[in-house]
Amino acid sequence: MKILLLGSGGREHAIAWKLIQSPYCEKLFIAPGNAGTKMLGENVQINLSDFQTIKNTVIENKIDMVVVGPEDYLVAGIHDYFLGDNYLQNIPVIGPKKDGAMLEGSKEFAKKFMINNKIPTASYQSFTIENMEEGLQYIKQQKLPIVLKADGLAGGKGVVISTTYEDAERELIEMLQGTKFGKASSKVVIEEYLHGIEISIFVLTDGINYKILPTAKDYKRIDDGDNGLNTGGMGAVSPVPFADEVFINKVEERIIIPTIEGLKKDGIDYKGFIFIGLMNVDGNPYVIEYNVRMGDPETEVVVPRIKSDLVELFTAVANRKLDEFDLQIDEKAAATVMLVSGGYPSTYKTGFPISGIENIKESLVFHAGTTSSKETGEVVTSGGRVLAVTSFGENIKEAVAKSYESIKKIEFSGMHYRKDIGKDLFND
């Protein structure tokens, strides 16, 4: 089978690494990919926003399946485009159509979906510029802190948590007037702040059946102790110790089943990943957000723990046969630590050579923001998040320690990473 994987991050390198281990994967193409995926398949430099060029790539290379990494193309309707095209309609796409992608594409859509399906989530109301005054009044009636969310996609940055009413009011005005997140915040969801520990739950569904993948926790802030600016994620661990059978059963009964049933009831035929960001509030799960893709860097710990063949798993999704699939998960724990460019998530420089990756034997190094230098061919930095260093262990503490050992061998100018990944979850 020839497979085309869309995306260029650590998530895509981890998925590519797993796909090519399958005897069913004859050839892998990654668009646009990075210096890591280049070692596993053929990187194709195309503009993914132009679906016609994706179509050309699929036809030229006789692609049999398309796996979509990031949300943007799903929200923009890549799956619908395939279904509406005579040449492409029988080529399976792993990732939901536009209607299902709305779970991530619109926070308000997601909130309404949860309320309609009695899925536990923070209470909320949404506002536009037309009823901004009501929004300002609403803020005054809420407890602090208060959460404001841009309705549309804002590159993972559309959430503001305010600790004073003045701040929340100012933020609402800026968001609705479009000075903060542009069109993405022309509608704003204001919601109750949930106190607890976050966890990422991943579900793969074929529209009828589903499989729950390993749990993970990511670390979003740039600095140790969860300080500093929000990032795409600085590291992750799997499994999450507090997510025991009792907790996961609650998640399945209160959230996963109503989500799958709710999609069916609404006529949304969803084939792909559902990433549920949850808050564990005193042992009870509440949904913070849905994403319609895998998490990054969670994928770098979740995918390596999947023992089953990933091509077979995706084929079961395409053929609506997930109920017949025996998903095998590795008992070992996994941890990943992100190495990022100095200055990220604000401004940073790129183009720095990376050394030492080839000396790492005890860990997997997934590339995120890397490219091969046009002049020298060496691997250089090309983004904020540069590499994810993943290790296995008997428990997450051991896995994290192994990644930190491996990181000592890697160098690039300005390299930064958190030293406390997983620490909040160790019990000593």
Residues at the site binding ligand GLY, with contacts judged by CB under 6 A: 156, 218, 233, 291, 295-296, 298
Which partner in ligand GLY, ligand AMP, none is near 233 (CB below 5 to 8 A by kind)? Answer: ligand GLY
200 token code pair:
């990422």
Residues 203 and 211 sit within 8 Å (Cβ to Cβ): yes
Output the smallest distance, CB 69 to ligand AMP, in A: 18
Which helix or strand (DSSP H or E) is residue 187 part of? strand 187-192
Residue from 194, 201, 237, 287 binding ligand AMP (CB under 6 A): 194
Instruction: Check residue 120 for interaction with ligand AMP (CB under 6 A).
Output: no
Select the residue interacting with ligand AMP from 14, 88, 122, 368 (CB under 6 A).
122
**Structure-token pair, residue 427:** 């019990």
Contact between 146 and ligand AMP by CB under 6 A: the answer reads no
Spatial separation of the C-alpha atoms in residues 394 and 398, rounded to whole Å: 6
H or E element at residue 80: helix 78-83
Q: Which is nearer to ligand GLY, 154 or 176 (CB)?
A: 154
DSSP E strand stretches across 308-378: 333-340, 364-367, 370-372
Please state the separation of Cα 207 from the chain's center in Å. Answer: 20
Stretch that binds ligand AMP, among 10-18, 28-36, 186-194, 374-382 (CB under 6 A): 186-194
Q: Among residues 191 and 206, whose Cβ is nearest to ligand AMP? A: 191
Q: Cis omega before residue 70 (within 30°)?
A: no
Out of 151, 191, 206, 309, name the contact with ligand AMP by CB under 6 A.
Answer: 191
At closest approach, how far in Å is the CB of 9 from ligand GLY?
A: 9
Residue 414 near ligand AMP by CB under 6 A: no
H or E element: which one contains 176?
A: helix 165-176
Question: Looking only at residues 250 through 279 of this chain, which bind ligand AMP when binding is defined by CB under 6 A?
Answer: 277
Q: Give whichever of 156 and 196 is closer to ligand GLY, judged by the CB atom.
A: 156
Spatial separation of the C-alpha atoms in residues 303 and 306, rounded to whole Å? 5
Could you say which of 85, 223, 252, 289 contacts ligand AMP (CB under 6 A)? 289
- For position 54 contacting ligand AMP by CB under 6 A, the verdict is no
162 neighbors 94 (Cβ within 8 angstroms): no
Q: Return the percent helix, strand and coil in the chain, to nearest 5.
A: 30, 30, 40
| Geometric angle at alpha carbon 219, from 387 and 247, rounded to 5° | 125
Asked if 156 touches ligand AMP (CB under 6 A), the answer is yes
User: Residue numbers of the site for ligand AMP (CB under 6 A)?
Assistant: 122, 147, 156, 159, 191, 193-194, 198, 220, 277, 288-289
